[in-house]
Chain A
Amino acid sequence: MNILIEQILNGLILGSQYALVATGLALIFGVVGIVNFAHGEFFMVGAYIFYLFYRNDTLGAYFLAVTAAIVVMYLLGRAYERIVINRIIDRSWHSQLVATLATSIILINLAILIFGTTPKVTPTVLSKTVVSLGFINISYQRICIFLVTGLVFILLNLFLQKTKLGKAMRAISQNRDASEIYGVDIRKVSEVTIGIGAGLAALAAGFMSPLFNILPTMGLLLVLKAFAAVIMGGFGNVKGAIYAAYLIGIIEALAIGYSHHIYIESAYKDVFVYGIMILVLLLRPQGLFGKKVGI
């Protein structure tokens, strides 16, 4: 029983990470209409920026580094829109996909050139302190991830519902041409959307890095799971992607905890995740929740 609760908790934390990355992907797809293959690398670059800014293990330094990573990635995301996305927005989806894939290749190998392939570790006060919840022990970092992600989603929802920019984003995702006629500056909104997506990836990186190693190739597996969440949630459906991301996190954690009961090593956990993604695609190609819930 304890294993079950512990694995579900782990799953929720993994799910938070996937949800933050998947939200950015779904937002960008909904508003800009691009499937951003470089999104996992936004997470990875965000983690390295966090690593560069994180100098000592005090709480203040930690939050400063996380903020710095988010701000830098927001700006880099906007630059990415200006340099790459803006030029391919009217092309076929082939060109779009290959251009974002090329960006991802450049970023991964630049990271290898600059930082090498040795993993970087950034333990914090939060990740080193463990609190006992009676039946299980859990580090503050994990609790923190869960709470911050919840808070971010509430803020994001408020932003999309209440602010002018958020309304413009929703309008574009519903009808691009009509919103252009009504005077929405699509270029500017697209740029900010990619910035926000990159910022969310950096936020996830800042909170996950103290628990895991920072590696140049870590974005690739992550982005595939985020894609799985986006596909399962229905393309462009942000809420669906968030629910699906948590589902994937829990499936993965349960696969780690229980796969030895069916004589399978836990190294195959990702095969479970992709298997379920393929099953969903086969049985419900429109996603688990359909298109009813927009962004």
Chain B
Amino acid sequence: MSLSKFFSSINSRLKGKSKFKLSLYLIAILIIAIFLIFFPKLVTTPYFIHIFVLAGMYIVLSLSYDLVVGHVGSLSLAHPAFFGIGAYAGALLAIKLGVPMGITLLAGAIMGAVLAILIGIPSFRLGGHSFAIGTLGFALAVEIIVRNWVKVTRGPMGIPGIPKPVLRFIGFFEWRLENLGDFYYLMLILVILTIVLYKLVDTSRVGRAFRAIREDEILASANAINPLANKMLAFTIGASIAGVAGVFYAYWFSLVSPEIFGMALTTTLLIIVFVGGRTSLRGIIVAALLVTVIPEFLRITPELRLVLYGLILLLTILFFPEGLEGIFQRVEKRK
């Protein structure tokens, strides 16, 4: 049902354009697709592939974050906790129990969702600022526990030596993820799945309910939309995507440590979502690419990078509250 709506929404968007423009559009998509598929074969430096995998991870994380921040308008600061719990769950399952990757990815999603429910139930009783502070409190509590529960998590030392994964498709074939290129393709699949899921939520009844809540909670509940249930849904979906991204990260880096719970991730995600423009798929993707690719080429220290990020975030909020999406729309209007 919602899938057919999704395609019809694409159709209606394409209908408005002339045949020439339509073919231009399709050619552009084709070129991007070919480029993305052959990218690891074209470049010789693994470093560039690495940056693209990183960018993909940020696209997945910021789209999942935007489901909460942009769509229902609840400013959660607990997103690193979901990512981190996914990474630790994946690492521990893979090392201690030898669980195959398909199941660890699922476990990451479940862990993220369970933690989201545990954090969400008390936190959503709080409105506005208090919600942000409550979720930050939870996120720090999770970090403290991971840092100090040495028996399980090895504390600040982290968990090294996560084995290279094998993805088994029942009855079909085995995919050993050995080099960076394999991780690149897995990330590409995750990004596409996340975009499809994001679009599905965005264009469905659920997505409209989310935005109704963001605009006016009382009016939404007067129209038979349950704000709490919908907010919990957005929070849980976002958290399980972040959990999956965490599992991917664990395999990719083959090391997890408590640092991944830090505020740096929240900062980056806030910048991507606000600079890109909330609820804007294209804005967020472009912003995620900018935020990951540009600093890697400028080769600046992480601290200076965070200072610049903070400045960009502040200037965006002060002067371009619509973000990149606002700029896109202005360009489109001029045409």
B322 to chain A, nearest CB (A): 11
B6 at the interface (CB under 8 A from A): no
Q: Is the CB of A285 within 8 A of B137?
A: no
B73 at the interface (CB under 8 A from A): yes
B313 at the interface (CB under 8 A from A): yes
B122-151: contact bitstring with A at CB < 8 Å (1 yes, 0 no)? Answer: 100110111011101110110011011000
Partner of B145, one of A105, A271, A281: A271
Report the separation of the CA atoms of residues A155 and B178 in the bound assembly, to the nearest whole angstrom: 67
Report the separation of the CA atoms of residues A104 and B134 in the bound assembly, to the nearest whole angstrom: 18
B-side interface residues, number (CB < 8 Å): 38
Stretch at the interface among B8-16, B57-65, B248-256, B299-307: B299-307
From 234 to 292 in chain A, residues with beta carbon under 8 angstroms from any chain B beta carbon are: 235, 265, 267-268, 270-271, 274-275, 277-278, 281-282, 285
Q: Is the CB of B129 within 8 A of A105?
A: no
B267 at the interface (CB under 8 A from A): yes
With A84-B318, A97-B129, A99-B314 given, is the CB distance from A109 to B303 under 8 Å?
Answer: yes
Q: Is the CB of A267 within 8 A of B148?
A: yes
From 99 to 125 in chain B, residues with beta carbon under 8 angstroms from any chain A beta carbon are: 122, 125
Partner of A271, one of B144, B263, B304: B144
From 280 to 319 in chain B, residues with beta carbon under 8 angstroms from any chain A beta carbon are: 301, 303-304, 306-307, 309-311, 313-314, 317-318
A204 at the interface (CB under 8 A from B): no
From 228 to 270 in chain B, residues with beta carbon under 8 angstroms from any chain A beta carbon are: 263, 267, 270
A66 at the interface (CB under 8 A from B): no
Stretch at the interface among A54-62, A88-96, A131-139, A186-194: A88-96
With a CB–CB cut-off of 8 A, which chain B residues contact A91?
A: 317, 321
A-side interface residues, number (CB < 8 Å): 41
With a CB–CB cut-off of 8 A, which chain B residues contact A19?
A: none
With a CB–CB cut-off of 8 A, which chain A residues contact B270?
A: 98, 101-102
Q: Is the CB of A93 within 8 A of B303?
A: no
With a CB–CB cut-off of 8 A, which chain A residues contact B137?
A: 224, 228, 274, 277-278
Partner of A281, one of B125, B128, B309, B317: B125
Nearest-CB residue, chain A, relative to B119 = A278
Task: Decide if the interface of chain A is mainly helix, strand, loop or mixed.
Answer: helix
Q: Is the CB of B148 within 8 A of A105?
A: no
A113 at the interface (CB under 8 A from B): yes
A227 at the interface (CB under 8 A from B): yes
Q: Is the CB of A102 within 8 A of B130?
A: no
Q: Is the CB of A281 within 8 A of B122?
A: yes
Nearest-CB residue, chain B, relative to A103 = B314
Q: Is the CB of A227 within 8 A of B133?
A: yes
A164 to chain B, nearest CB (A): 30
Report the separation of the CA atoms of residues A97 and B147 in the bound assembly, to the nearest whole angstrom: 28
A222 to chain B, nearest CB (A): 12
- A-B contacts at CB below 8 angstroms, number: 108
B55 at the interface (CB under 8 A from A): no
For A91, A105, A235, the residue with the greatest tally of chain B CB atoms inside 10 Å of its CB is A105
B274 at the interface (CB under 8 A from A): yes
B209 at the interface (CB under 8 A from A): no
A87 at the interface (CB under 8 A from B): yes
A106 at the interface (CB under 8 A from B): yes
B314 to chain A, nearest CB (A): 4
A112 at the interface (CB under 8 A from B): yes
Q: Is the CB of B274 within 8 A of A268?
A: no
With a CB–CB cut-off of 8 A, which chain B residues contact A113?
A: 301, 303-304, 307
A205 at the interface (CB under 8 A from B): no
B75 at the interface (CB under 8 A from A): yes
With a CB–CB cut-off of 8 A, which chain B residues contact A221?
A: 140
Q: Is the CB of A106 within 8 A of B314?
A: yes
With A105-B306, A267-B148 given, is the CB distance from A275 to B133 under 8 Å?
Answer: no
Partner of B141, one of A88, A102, A104, A274: A274
Q: Is the CB of A98 within 8 A of B317?
A: yes
A27 at the interface (CB under 8 A from B): no
Partner of A282, one of B122, B138, B263, B304: B122
Q: Is the CB of A88 within 8 A of B303?
A: no
With a CB–CB cut-off of 8 A, which chain B residues contact A145?
A: none
With a CB–CB cut-off of 8 A, which chain A residues contact B128?
A: 93
A110 at the interface (CB under 8 A from B): yes
With a CB–CB cut-off of 8 A, which chain B residues contact A98?
A: 75, 270, 274, 313, 317
Partner of A268, one of B132, B144, B267, B304: B144
A220 at the interface (CB under 8 A from B): yes
Report the separation of the CA atoms of residues A103 and B315 in the bound assembly, to the nearest whole angstrom: 10
Q: Is the CB of B140 within 8 A of A285?
A: no
A231 at the interface (CB under 8 A from B): yes
Q: Is the CB of B307 within 8 A of A106?
A: yes
Report the separation of the CA atoms of residues A148 and B149 in the bound assembly, to the nearest whole angstrom: 39
With a CB–CB cut-off of 8 A, which chain B residues contact A235?
A: 129-130
Q: Is the CB of A99 within 8 A of B317?
A: yes
With a CB–CB cut-off of 8 A, which chain B residues contact A88?
A: 317-318
For B137, B144, B301, the residue with the greatest tally of chain A CB atoms inside 10 Å of its CB is B137
> Can you name 13 A-B residue pairings with CB atoms under 8 Å?
A94-B69, A94-B73, A102-B310, A105-B267, A106-B311, A109-B304, A224-B133, A224-B140, A265-B148, A267-B144, A270-B141, A275-B141, A277-B134
- Residues of A bordering B, CB below 8 Å: 35, 84, 87-88, 91, 93-95, 97-99, 101-106, 108-110, 112-113, 220-221, 224, 227-228, 231, 235, 265, 267-268, 270-271, 274-275, 277-278, 281-282, 285
Closest 10 interchain pairs by CB?
Answer: A106-B310, A105-B310, A102-B314, A274-B137, A102-B313, A109-B306, A35-B129, A267-B148, A109-B307, A112-B303
